[in-house]
Structure 1
Amino acid sequence: MKAIIKLLIIAIFSSAVNITYAQNKKAEKKAKQEQAVKSQIDSTKYRFVAQWMNPLGGRQVFLTPANYYDIKIRKDSVIAYLPYFGRVYMNAPVAGEDGGIKFTSTKFDYKITPKKDRWQVTINFKDTRKARRLTMDVFKNGTATANIISDNRDPIYFQGNIDIKI
């Protein structure tokens, strides 16, 4: 009987140690990912990969193929290659390749504002008519949302991930 009680105590103790180890491992992994995302945003060298698009007044659209539509953010440039569905108020595209939100900007203001569970990145463009401002909410787990405001188009909202492997 004493042997069974000893084995039971050892089993409970082992289980508690394993659970604590697993929780610590998970917390470590989460902290590493959070640090990687934060360092990419601070370095201004990352890529937002859009997976969903929400046009103003429309329904959510899944973007395929994966890793095709993105915004590349560097210290000296922002390169956007995104689709657009919505109302265009003036200067409507004439040819098929003119549509979407496709531009390269080299003159912009970049600002990071820390929030409780995320970082808000605001980029104000000075040299493109395709977009006036890009506001991204980058969450600690690497997911992100991007809201693009233009002077001649309805705002559009994208959901996706930050690619930290660059």
Structure 2
Amino acid sequence: MKILNKIALLAAFIFIGVNVSFAQTKAEKKAAKQAEIKKMIDDQNFVFKANYALPMRGGTRPLTSDYDITISKDTIVSFLPYFGRAYVAPPPGTTDGGIKVNTTKFTYSSTPKGKGWNITIKPKEKNIADWRDVQTFNLSISQDGYGSLQVISSNRDPISFNGYVEARKTK
């Protein structure tokens, strides 16, 4: 019986040791990911991938295709859907909708907020005749890389997106 008690005690110590080791590894991985997110934000070199659209009117819509906004020091490229009310009609025959911006003229400001960041991106190319004219991208990112993007346009209702941040793939 003493041998069984010793074996059970040894198994318990091994089990506790493995759990402590796993917890340290998990904490180290989380800290490394948070450091990577911080570096991407500071370097202005990341992609926000949208999972859900939250239009001003109507309910939340899960997104089944790849929609994102790519941020680098010199270029902003967005490919996002739009659901909502537009106050200016698109030109006749236009099938190009959504929030599509590709510009090198913009301002980027990042401010720490709690354990995350608030990022404001304002394209400088203002064309009031463009029915999709984006005024501001407001991006809130947590330290774990999850975020919320609000897009404010001059001729459309605002729309928000929930998603996550990942490293930008270089070509």
Letter in 2 for 1:157: S
Deviates more, 1:1-10 or 1:106-115: 1-10
Please tell me whether residue 146 in structure 1 is matched to residue 146 in structure 2.
no
Report the equivalent of 2:102: 104
Q: CA deviation at 1:165?
A: 5.3
Matched residue, 1:85: 83
Higher strand share: 2
SS for the counterpart of 1:42 is helix
Tell me which residue corresponds to 1:52: 52
Structure 1 regions of 5+ residues with no counterpart? none
Does structure 2 conserve the Cα–Cα contact (< 8 Å) formed by 1:105 and 1:128? no
Partner Cα separation in structure 2 for residue 100 and residue 55 of structure 1: 12
TM-score (norm 2): 0.86
2:110 counterpart letter in structure 1: I
In structure 2, the partner of 1:133 is 136
Q: Which residue of 2 aligns with 1:22?
A: 22
The residue identity in structure 1 corresponding to 2:99 is: I
1:146 counterpart SS class: strand
State the secondary structure of the residue aligned to 1:96: coil
Cα RMSD of the aligned pairs, angstroms, is: 1.6
**Equivalent residue, structure 2, for 1:122:** 120
Report deviation, 1:101: 0.9
User: What are the superposed Cα offsets for residues 36-91 of structure 1, whole Å, 9 maximum, x if unpaired?
Assistant: 111111111111111211110211112222x2x2111110111111111111123x
**Distance in 1 between residues matched to 2:20 and 2:114, nearest whole Å:** 27
Scaled by the length of structure 1, what TM-score is found? 0.89
Aligned residues: 162
One-letter code of the match for 1:80? S
Contiguous gaps of at least 5 residues in structure 2: 128-132
State whether residues 103 and 128 of structure 1, in contact with CA within 8 Å, keep that contact through their aligned partners in structure 2. no
Q: Which amino acid aligns with 2:90?
A: P
Does the CA-based 8 Å contact 1:106-1:127 persist in structure 2? no
**Change in CA separation of 1:87 and 1:25 when aligned onto 2, cut-off 3 Å:** same
